[in-house]
Amino acid sequence: MKILSPLSGLVLVMFGVTASAHAHLQKSSPADNSVISTSPSSLVLNFSEAARLTALSIQKDREPPQNLKPPPTAAAQQISVPLPPLMPGTYSVNWRVVSDDGHVMAGALRFTLAADRPTDHPADHSAQR
């Protein structure tokens, strides 16, 4: 039993090193779960390490997903992809990358593009007296 404790500790340490070796999405623009007021010209994904984008799609509300092409071919820690003009609605972005260590990582983020609201101008009631 005494040998199992050091052995299980070694396994946990090895698992922690292996798990942290993958490229994880650290931040994005637009940010996950954000509400924005203007259509972004590009999507920017920042990873914990260099990764090569292998798939990227965007979906508005319940419409069919639209593949964003072409994905950059070089591995990078920050990946920027042009976006088409977007209309107000809720968007889901699905991505898949291959990190330098060969592991495939996938994820998704959501953001909402709010509809433009007309500027409210208070009525000038002084002329109605």
The reported pLDDT for the residue numbered 100 is 85
CA angle, 34 then 65 then 53, to 5°: 75
Delimit the domains of the chain by residue range.
24-115
**Residue 62 C-alpha from the chain's centroid:** 18
Strands (E), the chain: 25-29, 34-36, 42-60, 66-67, 76-82, 89-99, 104-113
The reported pLDDT for the residue numbered 2 is 53
Contacts of 71 (CB under 8 A, 6+ apart): 53, 54, 55, 56, 81
The reported pLDDT for the residue numbered 71 is 74
Structurally, what CATH architecture does the domain formed by 24-115 represent?
Sandwich (2.60)
Confidence band for 28, pLDDT divided at 50, 70 and 90: very high
pLDDT tens-digit readout, 64-119: 999 998 777 889 999 999 999 999 999 999 999 999 889 999 999 999 999 876 55
